[in-house]
């Protein structure tokens, strides 16, 4: 199953997409600016994981957030070749898709 990502799916810095047999794709976006000794720097990244409910246990598997990479549960990709090997973030989420494996 392929899911097209976009900013409209983001609620409170999260994208949550339920699929398959008790699985959820969860993407947490971090878009902050931090300062240290009068020097500030932006943090624009995300955390991607698959959450699977197994009877009374919830299994969380961290997944790659680099466009073009995947694992046995998912693959993050874009039709824009300039995004290959870049990290998924708020700025490029509209151009990305996730292929989810059951």
pLDDT at site 37: 84
Ranges of the chain whose pLDDT falls below 50:
none
Contacts of residue 9, defined as CB under 8 A and 6 or more positions apart, other chains included, come to 15, 17
pTM comes to 0.89
pLDDT at res. 43: 86
Residue 76 CA to residue 59 CA, distance in Å, equals 20
Residues constituting the chain: 102
Residue 16: both structure tokens together: 């949550």
Confidence at residue 17, expressed as pLDDT on a 0 to 100 scale: 96
């Amino acid at each position: 199953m392929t899911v097209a990502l976009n900013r409209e799916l983001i609620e409170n810095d999260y994208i949550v997409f339920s699929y398959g047999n008790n699985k959820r794709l969860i993407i947490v976006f971090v878009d902050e600016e931090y300062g240290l000794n009068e020097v500030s720097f932006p943090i624009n990244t995300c955390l991607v994981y698959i959450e699977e409910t197994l009877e009374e246990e919830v299994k969380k598997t961290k997944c790659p957030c680099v466009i073009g990479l995947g694992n046995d549960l998912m693959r993050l990709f874009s039709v824009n070749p300039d995004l290959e090997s870049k990290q998924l973030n708020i700025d490029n989420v509209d151009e990305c898709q996730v292929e989810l494996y059951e």
